[in-house]
């Protein structure tokens, strides 16, 4: 990760702000924005907010961005998305059915219109203008910001996200901001319409060691796999596990190249010597081979344990070993009983009647 991108990430993770609302009419008059209509759509209404949410035609140059508020992290995929929006705006114009959403806030004593939904579309418009677009104003749903708090705003960002979906790590940053403000995991999950266990995992992820975070942000490792690793190894050992996975992935890649040298030779002839990007998965984990063996031979291991328990020498084992084995066998007994349980009586009677 570049120093610039790391600086942006730190700005996002440390974002905090005391919201000071301002007068919509006052700021709109100062920038000569044009009033359009009153907004009735519930999706743009912030819970607990006072005042009205109105649609305005706002000069592009007057729309401001709060540094660090947008949780989207720099990435090639994000750049590709913004480039697509830029091209679309140049060719088709701005899609007025998807206005930006903004608050009127007073920052450092100055009133301004600050976008909280539509950062990519705003950036795409600015790039389109540089390339020759004549767009001067954008449709913006503007709220005066009365009684709006940051936690309500974070929920809105998640719920209004209908363009390029937020990555799991970016959703985790929204969760962390609310958690830091004293909101519990269950409440965060309910408000953002995600499962509490997912919130717990995302909070682990955004607070993970830098090495793991970088691997997830760069798409070297999936967020779900990163969360699994954190639950299994904790923050203290997860980086060592990550490095081991990298070594295994590199060895796997080299082995494939040796077994199939023709594509590599063709790439060299074409001048493409850049190695393929490594993607770390569960098959590179330190216990991957053990898990595979247990999955394949688990039933046989159970049966072998039963044979050991039936052996005359079983009583000669230490008490600790026997207790551990008995607990293990109890799991098998319960599973076999569940498999042998007859179907529900009513269902069975229906089956008999149908057969008759």
C-alpha span between 269 and 101 (Å, rounded): 51
Tokens of 317: 């084992």
Q: Which residues pair with 140 in a beta bridge?
A: 56, 100
C-beta of residue 161 within 8 angstroms of C-beta of residue 44: no
pLDDT at 245: 94
Burial 144-155 (b: 16+ CB within 10 A, else e): bbbebebbbbbb
Element counts in the chain: helices (H) and strands (E): 14, 6
pLDDT at 265: 53
**Residue 145 CA neighbour count, 13 Å, CB half:** 23
Gyration radius of the chain's alpha carbons:
29
**Residue 39 CA neighbour count, 13 Å, CB half:** 24
Residue 235's closest CA among 264, 206, 278, 273?
206
C-alpha span between 106 and 188 (Å, rounded): 28
pTM of the predicted protein model: 0.63
Instruction: Taking the CA atoms of 87, 88, 89 and 91 in sequence, report the sign of the dihedral they define.
Output: positive
For the beta sheet containing 110-117, the strands, ordered from the edge strand earlier in sequence to the opposite edge, are 34-38, 53-59, 137-143, 100-107, 110-117, 63-65
Q: Please state whether beta strands 100-107 and 137-143 pair in parallel, antiparallel, or not at all (unpaired).
A: parallel
Q: How many residues does the chain have?
A: 356
What is the phi/psi pair of residue 144, to 5°?
A: -75, -10
C-beta of residue 20 within 8 angstroms of C-beta of residue 106: yes
Burial 266-281 (b: 16+ CB within 10 A, else e): eeeeeeeeeeeeeebe
Residue pLDDT tens, the chain, 356 long: 566 677 777 777 778 887 888 888 888 888 888 887 755 555 544 444 444 568 999 999 999 998 888 888 888 889 999 999 999 999 999 998 889 999 998 888 888 999 999 999 999 999 999 999 999 999 999 887 776 788 888 888 887 776 778 899 999 999 999 999 999 999 999 988 899 999 999 999 999 999 999 999 999 999 999 999 999 999 999 999 999 999 999 998 888 888 776 655 555 555 555 566 888 998 888 888 888 888 888 888 888 888 888 888 888 889 999 898 888 888 888 888 888 876 554 455 554 444 44
């Amino acid at each position: 990760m570049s120093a610039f991108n790391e600086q942006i990430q730190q700005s996002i993770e440390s974002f905090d702000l005391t919201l000071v609302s301002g007068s919509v009419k006052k700021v709109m008059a100062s920038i000569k924005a044009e009033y359009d209509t009153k907004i009735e759509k519930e999706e743009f209404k912030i819970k607990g907010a006072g005042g009205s949410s109105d649609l305005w035609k706002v000069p592009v140059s007057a729309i401001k961005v709060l540094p660090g508020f947008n949780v989207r992290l720099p990435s090639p995929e994000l750049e590709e998305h913004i480039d697509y929006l830029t091209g679309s705006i140049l060719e088709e114009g701005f899609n007025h059915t998807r206005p930006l959403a903004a608050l009127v806030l007073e920052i450092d004593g100055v009133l301004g219109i600050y976008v909280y939904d539509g950062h990519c579309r705003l950036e795409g418009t600015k790039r389109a203008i540089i390339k020759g677009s004549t767009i001067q104003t954008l449709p913006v749903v503007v709220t005066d910001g009365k009684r709006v708090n940051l936690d309500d705003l974070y929920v809105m960002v998640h719920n209004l996200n209908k363009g390029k979906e937020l990555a799991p790590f970016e959703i985790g940053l929204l969760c962390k901001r609310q958690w830091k403000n004293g909101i519990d995991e269950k409440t965060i999950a309910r408000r953002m319409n995600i499962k509490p266990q997912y919130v717990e995992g995302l909070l682990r992820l955004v607070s993970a060691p830098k090495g793991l975070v970088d691997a997830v942000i760069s798409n070297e490792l999936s967020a779900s796999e990163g969360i699994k690793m954190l639950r299994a190894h904790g923050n203290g050992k997860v980086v060592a596990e990550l490095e081991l996975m990298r070594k295994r992935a590199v060895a796997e890649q080299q082995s494939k190249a040796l077994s199939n040298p023709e594509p590599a030779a063709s790439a060299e002839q074409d001048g493409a010597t850049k190695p393929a990007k490594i993607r770390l998965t569960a098959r590179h984990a330190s216990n991957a081979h053990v898990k595979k063996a247990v999955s394949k031979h688990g039933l046989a291991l159970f049966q072998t344990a039963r044979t050991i328990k039936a052996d005359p020498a079983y009583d000669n084992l230490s008490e600790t070993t026997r207790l551990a084995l008995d607990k293990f066998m109890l799991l098998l007994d319960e599973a076999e009983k569940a498999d042998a349980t007859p179907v529900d009586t009513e269902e069975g009677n229906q089956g008999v009647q149908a057969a008759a």
